[in-house]
Amino acid sequence: MAGQDLRVTASTLLVVTGFTAIVPGLWFVASTVRRRDTHGARGGRLATIGSWLVLVGSVGFSVLASVDLVTLAATHVPDRASMTEYLHRLDVSPGVLAITAPALVGYFVGPFLVTLAARRAGIGPKWLPAAVLASLILQPVGAGLGGPPVASVADLVLQLGLVVTLVLLAREVVAAASGATGS
């Protein structure tokens, strides 16, 4: 991160913006599913659980991403040994560890549950929940493969795959909501 102040700051702000933006979109999907599900048999409860997990995951990852700004500030500390020790302590701090597990569960399970609930309510193609799940699962695997250049490309491709599947879901939900209101 040393010497990359603008890049790290911009990246962190984009990550926080992205995690923030996913919440209202998937909450709209969940609310549409709940409106269509008057008896709880077609995904309403699943959509509610998924939407809350999305919120937990988005807030958690926004907090974790913000730690990069602290790490960036640490690169400006002249005493390298102190900086290294501080960053190690930050990585294993109880607060960071406590946020990590709910963030992971929320992000990796929430969008899938909302998409599955939409499918159970008859919204979207049958393959969409599996595509969302595959993108969510493969993204960290891809990010961990083959060193930084390969990881960056794999991460980008799989994140774009998630965006595309969620855009498809949004289009289907808007069409379903418009059809339900007679518009």
| Cα angle 55, 61, 63; round to 5 | 100
Q: Give, in order, the Cα–Cα distances in Å from 121 to each of 148, 166, 180.
A: 41, 16, 12
Share of the chain above pLDDT 70, in %: 89
pLDDT score for 183 = 42
Q: Which residues contact 118 (CB under 8 A, 6 or more apart)?
A: 29, 32, 33, 43, 47, 124, 128, 169, 172, 173
Q: Which of 42-56, 62-76, 137-151, 163-177 has the lowest mean pLDDT?
A: 137-151
Say how many domains are in the chain: 1
At 182, the pLDDT band (50, 70, 90 cuts) reads very low
| Contacts of residue 29, Cβ cutoff 8 Å, sequence gap at least 6 | 47, 51, 114, 115, 117, 118, 123, 169, 170, 173
pTM of this prediction exceeds 0.85: no
- The model's pLDDT over 93-125, given as tens digits with 9 standing for 90+, comes to 999 899 999 999 999 899 999 999 999 988 888
Cβ neighbours around 171 below 10 Å, total: 11
Its domain, for residue 71, covers 5-181
Taking only the tens place, the pLDDT of each residue in 42-79 is 788 999 999 999 999 999 999 998 988 888 888 888 88
